[in-house]
Structure 1
Amino acid sequence: MSLSSQAFTRIRHAIVSGDLDFGERLSEMQIAEALGMSKAPVRTAFFKLRDIRLVTIVPQAGTYVFSPGPEDVLEMSTFRAVLEKAGMRLSMKQAAAVVLDTLEQTVYRMEKALTRGNWAQYETADREFHEVFMRESGNSFLPQAYDLTASSITALRVRLQGGEGDYRARSFGEHKLILAELKAGHLDEAARILEDHIMVINESGLVLPPRDTPRAKARTRSIEEYKAIFGR
């Protein structure tokens, strides 16, 4: 794996996992030092992260972790719902047996992770549940389009799981319902539940910054903090 790919993977994980906050300013020099590499691979990683909407690069100002406002979350979730419903219908037509088998396995793994309180494992199974619709759709453009917001949506969900309320239990229950409706051949009802499941993030109560939050107030970390995050 190239240095830029390593930097991309590790910074992406730090953003998605919540180790790096929404809206904070990223120091190219200090992250490079924390990762034990030059600035060039980190700069390349920033551009790749920008392409999947995880950072914003502002000329003459710097690079910032994405900071979604309520309007952004609505746009992302609407986009995802459209893609996933299309993927569900296509995949059930193209490879229903594979889709149902994969969903059965992921729901089982989600239940085990939920019982153990292991959110990382739950999130992995959750992601695989949704990705099977893209992968088995028979349309190569759907997974590419889906990837545009997949990391951003995951970052939001990870922050939700640390908050108040019954988000985890509701999420798991909806996955079980989607599987049950698909097994029963009720594709329209499964699609309706899927859309509600995706759009509920807009009603979650997750506190998000407004779009016009001044960047001058953005947090900047010390080299010691970066080393703690990146394990050096």
Structure 2
Amino acid sequence: MRRSARPRGTRASSQIYSDLRTELVSLVRRPGEIISESQIATAYGVSRTPVREAILKLADEGLVEIFPQSGIFVSRIPVAALPEAIIIRKALEETTARMAAERVTSSQLLNLHAVLERQREASAAKHREAFHQADELFHATIAEIAGYPGIWTLIQQVKVHVDRYRRLTLPQAGRMAEVIAEHEPILAAIEARDPNGARLAMARHLERLLSDISEIQMINPEFFDQPT
């Protein structure tokens, strides 16, 4: 599909990178799928140079694999990398939850309640993409309340493959409701100005990601790498 706007130069590369990254992380482009530089260049109305620049950045993140003489392929989710990324995220978000409970204002609490309500609405509508976006906003808002929004930026860099894995958990029966049930005690502890309670609630929430890896891999083996 040809894009309506025709980006140029560095802006073209950045736009293509952003769009492709979104498609890869959301699993719109599935692991093992071939990526055609020429098709992307045609869709954006640009030469292959900015496409290649975007592809190289995505390869650096491990989202695509480049095989000379064979082509460019969407990478599979690296199972071995998931636990470390989740542990890093957990350590950082325990800190933001604790600090949010120490610093939260009344208006910030109202905002956090509104974000959680968006998740409930998305869950009721069975709209997984809207649910995921509200989930991201919930965690980003906690980092902002803590006074360290840059921590969320760092987490986003660390959790790229975790996000791909998380997309596979949402179709599981009852999972969206479970996430909301895990978010509610985090919010309750922040509202109660209970730093340790907020930290523990966040830890329990993110530990679930660790415990589900094997089950999700078993259900969706084609999405994961198969180390020998």
Percent of aligned pairs sharing the same letter: 24
Higher mean C-alpha displacement, 125-134 vs 200-209: 200-209
Q: Name the counterpart of 2:28.
A: 19
CA shift digits 1:11-37 (9 cap, x unpaired):
122112222123444332333334443
Q: Is the 8 A contact 1:15 1:54 kept in 2?
A: no
Cα offset, 1:153, TM superposition: 2.8
Report how many aligned residue pairs link the two structures. Answer: 211
Question: What is the CA RMSD across the aligned residues, in angstroms?
Answer: 2.6
CA distance, structure 1, for counterparts of residue 162 and residue 134 of structure 2? 15
Which residue pairs with 1:43 in the alignment?
52
TM-score w.r.t. the length of structure 1 is: 0.77
**C-alpha contact 1:54 1:151 (8 A) present in aligned 2:** no
In the TM superposition, what whole-angstrom CA distance separates every residue of 1:148-167 from its partner, at most 9, and x where no partner exists? Answer: 134433322222222x3321
Contact kept, 8 Å, 1:54 with 1:66, in 2: the verdict is yes
Residue number in structure 2 paired with 1:152: 161
Q: How much has 1:147 moved relative to structure 2? A: 2.1
SS at match of 1:20: coil
Work out the CA distance in 2 between the residues paired with 1:171 and 1:42: 37
Closer, same or farther in 2 for the Cα pair 1:59/1:69, shift >3 Å?
A: closer
Code of the residue aligned with 2:19 in structure 1: it is R
- Within-5 A mapping of 1:1-232: 2-51=11-60, 53-58=61-66, 60=68, 63-139=72-148, 141-162=150-171, 164-204=172-212, 205-207=215-217, 208=221, 209-210=224-225, 212=227
The answer (yes or no) to whether the contact 1:134–1:143 under 8 Å persists in 2 is: yes
Q: Secondary structure at the match of 1:22?
A: coil
SS of 1:147 mapped into structure 2: helix
1:201 and 1:129 mapped to 2: Cα distance?
17
Distance 1:92 1:187, change over 3 A: closer
* Amino acid across the alignment from 1:84: E
Counterparts in 2 of 1:80 and 1:64: CA distance versus 1, 3 Å: farther
Q: Taking structure 1 as reference, are residues 7 and 23 closer, same or farther at Cα in structure 2, changes over 3 Å only?
A: same
Q: Tell me how far 1:108 sits from its aligned partner.
A: 0.9
Give per-residue Cα distances to partners, 1:204-226, cap 9 Å, x unaligned: 2112534537xxxxxxxxxxxxx
CA distance in 2, matches of 1:144, 1:184: 27
Q: CA deviation at 1:98?
A: 5.0
Q: Could you say if the C-alpha distance between residues 35 and 190 of structure 1 is closer, same or farther in structure 2, counting changes exceeding 3 Å?
A: same
TM-score (norm 2): 0.79
**Distance in 2 separating the partners of 1:141 and 1:131:** 9
1:143 Cα offset (Å): 3.2
Cα distance in 1 for residues equivalent to 2:19 and 2:161: 15
TM-superposed CA distance for 1:182, in Å, is: 1.6
Kept in 2: contact 1:12–1:54 (CA 8 A): no
Mark the runs of 5 or more structure 2 residues left unpaired by the alignment: 1-6
CA contact (8 A) 2:122 2:131 kept: yes
SS of alignment partner, residue 206 of structure 1: helix
Q: Is the 8 A contact 1:29 1:39 kept in 2?
A: yes
Which secondary structure does the structure 1 equivalent of 2:146 belong to?
Answer: coil
Q: Would the alpha carbon gap of residues 58 and 40 (structure 1) be closer, same or farther in structure 2, given more than 3 Å must change?
A: same
Conserved in 2, the CA contact under 8 Å of 1:54 and 1:65?
no
Alignment partner of 2:109: what SS?
helix
Q: Relative contact order: is structure 1 or structure 2 higher (C-alpha 8 Å, sep ≥ 6)?
A: 1
